[in-house]
Structure 1
Amino acid sequence: MLVHPQFDPIALQLGPVAIHWYGLTYLVAFGLFLWLATLRTRQPQYAQTGWTRRDVEDLLFFGVVGVVLGGRLGYSLFYKPDYYLSHPLEMLMVWKGGMSFHGGLLGVLAAMAFFAHRRGRRFFEVTDLIAPCVPLGLASGRIGNFINGELWGRAADPSLPWAMVFPQSGSDLPRHPSQLYQFGLEGVLLFVLLWVYARRPHAVGRVSGAFLVGYGVFRFIAEYFREPDSFLGLLALNMSMGQWLCVPMVLAGIVLWWRAGAVPAARMAR
């Protein structure tokens, strides 16, 4: 049976400055976004409409602000509303941990809406550009989760070759390394599917819809192997909070994908 190696969370110590592995995975995610989004701006459908590297850098800035604020607020309101509504100032204490992907997504969408308004571009044009660039960043974050030994999986059959004991869980139960499942599904696999799909021109909004459906489905599957939050457990229909949050995401993606093909591009949201 495998045992999580319990990595030192600090990758490099430079005097009083400690560089954590998790911070490095964020830097990798940002670097991947810059590279991939720049490649996207060179594709004909974006190059012809004046997209530049400077636009990508601005998108990254707004996106980072959106994901941090949205991720923290989402975690506070989706997962621990009673506590954080009683201690609202702690919502701003990001160093205490606690981020929600679904909240981060809403934050990014708000940031992209602001960017689109400022630049006079259609909202779904912006989200179509960035959607295929996101999954590898998510994959990098899941590696950070694995290194930190957090967000471990549910108990697994001991005969499973890759079942792993996470001492951080406080038990010797073999578990699914669900961080790596999410790395593969909502990270690498989703990236490949979206990148291939988005290489050809599509109606504005369809790439964004495909991202919502793809991430929602893969995250829903991965949640069956991920240990639910101890303070929530499983909710109605034996589904986790993560799964329940994926349901409207998938439905919205289906509606967006269908509507994008049915509505003339000039009428899509700006």
Structure 2
Amino acid sequence: MLTHPFIDPIAIAAGPVQIHWYGIMYVVGFLAFWWLGYRRAQAPFSPLPPEKISDLLFYGVLGVILGGRLGYVLFYQFDAFWQAPWIILRIWEGGMSFHGGLLGVLLVAWAYARHLQIPFLRLTDFVAPLIPIGLGAGRLGNWINGELWGKTTELPWAMIFPAADWMPRHPSQLYQAALEGLALFAILWIFSRQPRPLGAVSGLFLLAYGLFRFVVEFVREPDLHLGYLAWNWLTLGQLLTLPMMLAGVALLWWAYHKGRTPTTLPSSKVG
């Protein structure tokens, strides 16, 4: 049995300036996005040239932060938001939602694809394999903070989180880092190394992430202020992933029955 080591959530402090480990994990994710994107942009079927990756990252960061914060407040703190809408501006208090961040990224990608005059799904197919490393880094940030722990268990790798209690629990943050980060990255990166039908990579991302998140939620402690939504096991995280999985299946079906491969699409108008 393991005990979660106390790690100061503040990695660097210089006077009034404080840099948190969770923030560093976001930077790791953004840097990985840029480096991997630069490599993917050199493929012959890439919709973007390498010099456009920095712009894509900039807009993606805006989508993640704004969408993630808005989604967290609306999905997990709606009652508090209804009473005091300005809490959405309290970014320093923490609180980000993956599903909100995803919606933010999709909205930004749609606008950027229109600006570049390329198909929306062609851009999301390009972006999807760049996201998992950031997801995994974010879960490591949760583990460092000793938050979002799992349910009690007697498994030999169970971990005690003093911030919760002294009961051995699933290190669900590490499960998510392994599945939503490393496993999802490997699946998407290998799958997208060859030209695939339009929308197939995006569909696989939605399906695989949704499946991984749905499964881990069974051993993750639900949010205290929400609890279970139904049947003493369905959590809000699982409810939000159901549309993702359905959309992923539908998109994969459409891609392989109606879609075209990137190499058959008109050449990009990006200059």
Task: Quote how far apart the aligned CAs of 1:264 are.
Answer: 4.5
**TM superposition score normalised by structure 1:** 0.93
1:200 CA displacement: 0.8
Runs of 5+ consecutive residues of structure 2 not aligned to the other structure? 266-271
Matched, 1:113 2:110: yes
| 1:261 alignment counterpart | 256
Query: Are 1:43 and 2:40 an aligned pair?
Result: no
For 1:123 and 1:95, the matched residues in 2 are separated by 33
Equivalent residues, number: 261
Q: Which stretches of structure 1, 4 residues or longer, exceed 4 Å deviation after superposition?
A: none
User: How far apart in 2 are the matches of 1:11 and 1:4?
Assistant: 17
Determine which of 141, 163, 183 is the counterpart of 2:158. 163
Contact in 1 for aligned 2:42/2:50 (Cα 8 Å): no
Aligned to 1:18, what secondary structure does the other structure show? strand
In the other structure, the counterpart of 1:243 is 238
> Counterparts in 2 of 1:81-120, with a 5 A limit?
81-120=78-117
Describe the SS at the equivalent of 2:45.
Answer: helix
Q: Does 1:149 align with 2:143?
A: no
Query: Is 1:172 aligned with 2:166?
Result: yes
Give the Cα–Cα distance (whole angstroms) in 2 for the partners of residues 147 and 79 of structure 1. 22
What is the CA deviation profile of residues 104-163 of structure 1, one whole-angstrom value per residue up to 9, with x for unaligned ones? 101110010111111111111110001011101111111111111111111112xx2211
Structure 1 equivalent of residue 268 of structure 2: none
Partner of 1:68: 65
Instruction: Give the CA deviation at 1:14.
Output: 3.1
Q: Percent identity?
A: 52
* Residue 209 (structure 1) aligned to one of 171, 194, 203: 203
TM-score, normalised to structure 2, is 0.93
Which AA in structure 2 matches 1:134? I
| Residue deviations 1:188-231 (CA, integer Å, cap 9, x gap) | 01110111100010111110000000000001111111110001
Q: Give the structure 1 partner of residue 226 of structure 2.
A: 232
Higher mean displacement: 83-92 or 107-116: 83-92
Structure-1 residue corresponding to 2:269: none
Partner of 1:126: 123
Q: Which range moves more in the overlay, 225-234 or 89-98?
A: 89-98
Measured in 2, the distance between the counterparts of 1:133 and 1:8 equals 29
Cα distance in 1 for partners of 2:27, 2:185 equals: 18
Q: Relative to 1, partners in 2 of residues 1:194 and 1:167: Cα closer, same or farther, differing over 3 Å?
A: same
CA RMSD of aligned residues (A): 1.5
Gaps of 5+ in 1: none
